[in-house]
Structure formats: C-alpha cells, structure tokens
Chain A
Amino acid sequence: MKIIKDLFKYHLSFRFGAIILLLIFLLATLSFFSPYEAAKRRVVPKNEAPSFDHIFGTTSLGQDVFWILTFAIRNTLIIAGLAVLIGRSIAVILGSFSGYVGGTTDRILQSIVDSFIVIPRLPLLILISFVLKGELNFLHLALILGFLDIAWPSKRYRSQILSLREQEFTYTAVFSGMNTFKIILKEHFPFFIPYLLADAVSGFLWAIGIEITLAVLGLCDLTTPTIGTMIYWGNYYQALLMQRLWVLAAPVITSIFIVVGFYLISTSLSEYLDPRTRLKRLGTRE
C-alpha cells in the first residue's frame, strides 16, 4: 500500500496511468447499472449523433454507444484478464521448472519454447478461430489467447530463475538446510512478484490487441459487446463512409486509453521494483 502511495505521489506516469485506469474501471462498473440490456438491439433510435440524450450517440444497430461501451470495456477486460491468468500461470510453472531442473529437459523445453517465439501467432490464431467459428465464445477465446502467449514469458521467467539460483542468498538458504520448495516460495517469490506484475500487463496489452483484431475480422462471437465487436459493427455499417465517426471514435479512443493506462502503470512499477535493480541494491549492501 505504501509503495502505491509513494508512486502516486512522486511518479508522474504512475499517477496518469492510475487516474486513467480508475476511470476505465468506473466505466466498466457502470455497465451493471445500464438501462439497456447488453445484447439487445433497436432499443434507441439508430445512427444519432451525440446529443444530450445519448452522450456518445447511437449505433446503426440501435444501441446507445455510451452504455454499450461500458459493457464492451467490461468484457474486453475480462477476456484479456482471463487470458493473462491462464497464460502466465502456465508460463511461470514451465519457466521455473525448466530453470530449476536444467540439463537435457531444459534444453528440449527451450527449443520448443524458442520455436513458438518465432512462429507468427496471428495466422495461427486466424486458422484456429476460422475452424472454431461460431463456437468461439468468451472462455474459448481467453483459453486460446492464454495458450499462445506462453513462450515469451516462460523464457523470461526461466532467465529470472537462473539468475536468482546463482545468488548468494540462495546458497545461504541451501547450506542452512532449507528445502527447495521453501526456497522458491520464501526466497525467490518476493523477487518474482513485481516482475510478474509488469509482465502480466504486457500480456494484457497483447490480448486486448488480438481480441480487437479477431473481432474486427469477424472471428469472435459478434453478439457479445467488446471493444473489437463495436468496431466490427461500426465497419459493417460503413461508419467511416457515412461520416458516423462517433460509432468508431468511442471504442478506438477507449482502447487507446486502456492500453496506455496499463502500460504507464507497468513501466513505472517495473522501474521501481525491477528485480535487477533490487538485486543490485542487495549486492551493494553485502
């Protein structure tokens, strides 16, 4: 808590990011109080420019842009959050396992991981969603995104573990008879957590970007409002050609705010809590 307070006080980009995210979460919570149902269409007049009644205008499907946006933010955040949760849990386990075990197992795992880093993910994702089309709901999407975002983070966790394993305090713990599991939990995890936070954000950003891309290509469940499906329907009814900019502006601007907000928080956090600088600080104390 104290760290967050300090960061808020002294770190400009953290403050910016925190305020943006607060607003975003506020919007997402507002969806629970929406006067209209999420998937319902033709509840308000179509294609109206922003006015006092509908502050962000209405869509070609007869939805109020503001309220549909609150649902969209909530759903997009949930999808990306689930994807990160799934992907990072597997990545942490895989990376630390590979790093601790070492030897041939490590080499085999690493060459598989390296392969998945090189393989372009978008065509693969398009192939999967195409075959699954129609059945790609929320959870499937989160699962697929999670599974495809394991390679990079697991490699980074592995290198973290490798450097932690060689630290003085690890040896001290080993020689004083602590068992491996306890060492990981008590000695190494504290270093891991800030790193995990910053890394989770980068996964989050990737998931949001891909969600938008797949939805725009018409590969997601298009009845659920997300940032991506909002843009899809905007494009579908030719919002640009018909000069109905407000339909697209709302999701586009919101998505930028979400990603920039999260990114600012993550960079300021990792700057503050970077395990490398913390290890360095530890090193000078010795």
Chain B
Amino acid sequence: MNLLKSYFLPRLSQWLITILIGVTVTFILPRLLPTDPVERTLSTLSSLQTMDPRAVESLKEALEDLYGLGGSPFEQYINYWKRLIRGDLGPSLSAFPTPVIEIIGAGLPWTVGLLTCTIFISWILGIVLGTLAGYLPKKLWCQIMDKIFISIYPIPYYILALILVMAFCYHFQVFPLVGGASGKPEISWSYLSSILWHSFLPATSLIVGSTAFRFIMAKALTSTIIASDYVNYAETAGLSRWRIVLFYVIRNTLLPQATDLGLSIGGIFSGTVITEIVFSYPGIGYSLYMGLLQADFNLILGITVFSIVGIATAALLVDLSYPLLDPRVRYK
C-alpha cells in the first residue's frame, strides 16, 4: 500500500502529464505554423491528381471536420481529445479511406519486434561487456573494445545504417534490402527464418549503436562501484571474481541502467524509425516515411501522436518494474 502511494502514483501521474503535454504539442504545432494544413493537404492532393471541384469542396469540409477546425480553439482542443480517446486518428489521405490506426496496427508488430529485440540484446551485451571492461581495465582486449565502442557511439544512426547497407546489401550482397519477410505469412520454418533474415541487418545497425551507449555507461558505473567498500570486502573475503562481477557489480549497475532505459526508449525509437526507412522495413517508421513522401499529413500526425503515447507507456512500464530490481524500494 505504501509502495503504491509513494512509488506508483507519482509515476502514473507523470505518465499522464507526459501524454497531456505531448498531445497538446501536436495540437498546437500545426496551428502555430504559417501554413494551413487543410489548404496544404488539398494543394498537394490536387497536384498529384486532377480532382473534381465539388470533390475538393467536400474533402475540404471533411478535413476541417477531421482536424476539428470549427469552433473556438478550446472546443477544438476538447474535440481533439475526444477523438483520440476513442482511438480515432482519422483516415489516411494517401490510402483513403483506410483509417490511420489500421496502418499503424499493420506496422506495429514489426516495430515492436525490432525495438524489443534491440533493447534486450544491446542491454545484455552492453552491460556485460561494459562491466568487464570497467572491472578489468588493464586487459588489452578490454582496452581495444573500449576504443571501438567510443568511436562507434557518436556516429548517427542513419550513418551506421547506411554503412551497413553499402557493405552488406550492395558490396557483398549478403542480405536483402527491402521488406520484412518473404513468402506468405504462416507459421512455418521458411517464413519465420525469412523474418529473421530480413531483420538481421536493421537490428544489427540499431544494436551496435545502443550497445555502445550501454557499454560506456556500464563502464563508468563499474569504475565507481569497484572502489566501494562492499566490493573491497568481497575481494578480501576471497569470493571468486565471477561471483563479484555478477552479484555485486552488475547487480548494482543495473539500477541506474534501468532508470536510464525508461528515459532513452524515445531515443531508441527514433533510431528504429531511421533504420526502418533505410532498410524499407515495414514498421510504423516506414509508414511515417511513406506518409512523408505522399504528403499525408493525417498519417504523420497520427503516427506522431501514437508514438508519443506508446513511448510514454513503455517508459512507464520500465519504471514500474524498477522495484523488482531494487529491494530498497520494495521494503521502504
């Protein structure tokens, strides 16, 4: 009960505030900017294909209704929320009248798969390697690893992905460039393995980048932890090195890493979007790109709102699992 009050409630309210602010920003931004989204959409649509004037007029009404441009700003804002709570993000303009939420639904499993895979693998790799490098700073292979990760870390996601494409899709032509799988969706070895095959390179480009970050963080954390009294004591008591690394050092580096994970999911998601675009991977990042190419404002807005809510929720879930890692929070 105490835990609920002191730990869960503040986080839940922060979650609500985040969503409130994010959604409000997406509401205000298109209205602050000089161009009218309705006019813009209409002009791009009519430049793509010739349209009947009456159809344009009715589309204009539909769009104004959709963006909630009728009534006072406050009424518009309330209507915006009402639609969002119903899960109604409007129809896609380029694939009219498919609802945006359906397009997101189709892309979501791919994105979530890529994201969770990346987070799990880079988390484990980064923490284990980083802790070892911090624990054994004099070993040559640790120093080499350190130099490699320090040089990889600052490279933008896009550049990393582009280099992998250049090397493995064009130069060596090992991996396929387009799509998420080949063949019909079914539960068979050939289909599942094609998913793995197609996602290998996109996942690698993401994993390399985020592992570098975890590695650097884990190493820095470890170097402060090995100076602590309890590690000294464990060493004096003659515990084996593996035991110290696993149960004393890593156990303690996990806590700040978990806090940081909740905060960095948004960044990793941005990386996923870029990676999906580079590899034409059929997730929601790629849908966002298609929306961009086809000037589909509704799709872009819908995906933005959806990703804000989704990432905030994912961060909340990570935050709420924190007491599992930290007994101090549990027993307070």
Contact = CB atoms under 8 A, between A and B. Distances in A.
Nearest to A13: B150
Contact of A209 (B151, B158, B311, B312): B158
Contacts of B22: 115, 119
A127 interface: yes
A123 B18 contact: no
Contacts of B295: 130
B40 interface: yes
B132 interface: no
Given A212-B158, A245-B166, A131 B29 contact: yes
A126 B304 contact: yes
Q: SS class of chain B's interface: helix, strand, loop or mixed?
A: helix
B78 interface: no
B166 A115 contact: no
Given A126-B292, A240-B166, A245-B166, A131 B30 contact: yes
A241 B25 CA distance: 40
A150 interface: no
Chain B interface size, under 10 / 10 to 19 / 20 to 34 / 35 or more: 35 or more
B90 to A, nearest CB: 14
Nearest to B224: A276
A90 interface: no
A112 B37 CA distance: 27
Given A213-B274, A260-B154, A263-B154, A119 B312 contact: yes
Interface centre among A121, A122, A216, A218 (most CB of B within 10 A): A122
Contact of B292 (A130, A240, A255, A267): A130
A240 B165 contact: yes
Q: SS class of chain A's interface: helix, strand, loop or mixed?
A: helix
Contacts, number: 136
Contact of A231 (B37, B162, B267): B162
A11 B156 CA distance: 25
Contacts of A36: none
A263 B312 CA distance: 29
A267 B150 contact: yes
A51 to B, nearest CB: 22
Contacts of A115: 14, 17-18, 21-22
A256 interface: yes
A127 B266 contact: no
A47 B144 CA distance: 39
Contact of A127 (B170, B274, B300): B300
A250 to B, nearest CB: 13
Interface string B1-33: 000000000000010011001100110011001
A118 B150 contact: no
Interface of B: 14, 17-18, 21-22, 25-26, 29-30, 33-35, 37, 40, 150-151, 153-159, 162-163, 165-166, 170, 262-263, 265-267, 269-270, 273-274, 277, 288-289, 292, 295, 297, 300-301, 303-304, 307-308, 311-312, 315
21 contacts: A118-B315, A119-B266, A119-B308, A120-B267, A120-B311, A122-B270, A123-B303, A123-B308, A124-B26, A124-B29, A124-B308, A128-B33, A131-B35, A132-B35, A205-B154, A209-B156, A212-B159, A240-B165, A260-B151, A263-B150, A263-B154
